[in-house]
Amino acid sequence: MAGPLAIGVDVGGKSIRAALVDRDGRIERRVKLRTPLVSEAALVSALEEAIDAVVAPQARALGFGIPSTIDQRSGRPVSSVNIPLTDLDLREHMSRRFGLPTGVDNDANAATLAEWTFGAGRGTRHLVMLTLGTGVGGGLVLDGRPYRGAVGAGGELGHMVIQYEGPPCHGSCPGHGHLEALASGHVADAEARRLLGPDATAVELVAAARAGSEASLTALALIGRRLGAGIETLVNVFNPEVVVIGGGFAGAGDLLLEPAREVVRSRALVPGRDLVRIVPAELGPDAGLVGAGLVAFEALERAG
């Protein structure tokens, strides 16, 4: 690794991962800790421990991808569903603690930056990304620039309405019938329990479908068509060159993506539907970490 390095920190509901990242997206000296969920103080101290474990003299900036909506005016997470971050000025706190320019972004925005720069969206100027995990995250690159909305809280594509009178969304989201409530890994977990037993998860549902279970194939195809309905809207609104599908549940691959593509091909508007590519992400679980590194380099550039 050469040149200035950044420290990327990818914060999830289960684990905190930190590493040194260079400008080519290479990763070194990685560490993984369990995410403490008992209190904000415990979480912050685990974040600091992870950074202390990877920090090096060449590190010039610090970047976080966190599962929260961010108000970029203050650097504060304003709404976190899965982690106990409530009203901490994370950017200011970490910048002071480590003496480095610091950037904070939503985890799906960070993954989008990574896939756009180094992954399935390389070379494009108009990209939409959806990350399918327990929830559904989203990110946008419009006209060659990451798009985050007026104060940084935009790109929450998982909270797009698919069914107006549909099921309530997750966590603190007040919406109904959102993509996240209809096409997340959480929804697949529920289908797995219904079809395969009380301990089954989306992983078993996908395995059963691959082994030829008609019921599991049907369940995944329905989730895929709902995903397609969301993508249809995004194609009509943004006319992207590529829609990148990442996150753990995206491991279902074409079991989800083919039904989604069929919906887009038959229902979205021409010519956008004929031009768009709907593809799996390429960076796997490292997208968030590399993206957090890119968020750090952005902060370094802003600091001049």
Write out the residues near Zn ion by the rule CB under 5 A: 159, 169, 173, 175, 178
Nearer to Zn ion, 108 or 169 (CB): 169
Tell me the residue number closest to Zn ion, measured at CB.
169
| 284-293: burial string, b at 16+ Cβ within 10 Å, e else | eebbbbbbbb
Q: Angle formed by the axes of helices 214-238 and 202-210, to 10°?
A: 110
Nearer to Zn ion, 100 or 231 (CB): 231
Nearer to Zn ion, 175 or 251 (CB): 175
CB of 188 to Zn ion, least distance (A): 17
- Outline where 10-140 has alpha helix (H): 40-54, 90-98, 107-118
CB of 160 to Zn ion, least distance (A): 8
Rg value, the chain, Cα:
19
Angle ∠(33,36,40) on CA atoms, nearest 5 = 125
Nearer to Zn ion, 91 or 159 (CB): 159
Nearer to Zn ion, 159 or 186 (CB): 159
Distance CA 295, CA 107 (A): 10
Q: Are strands 59-66 and 5-11 parallel, antiparallel or unpaired?
A: parallel
CB of 204 to Zn ion, least distance (A): 26
CA 26 from chain centre, in angstroms, equals 19
CB of 170 to Zn ion, least distance (A): 7
Nearer to Zn ion, 159 or 261 (CB): 159
CB of 199 to Zn ion, least distance (A): 27
The residues, any chain, with a CB within 8 Å of residue 166's CB and separated by 6 or more, are: 176, 177, 178, 181, 182
CB of 164 to Zn ion, least distance (A): 13
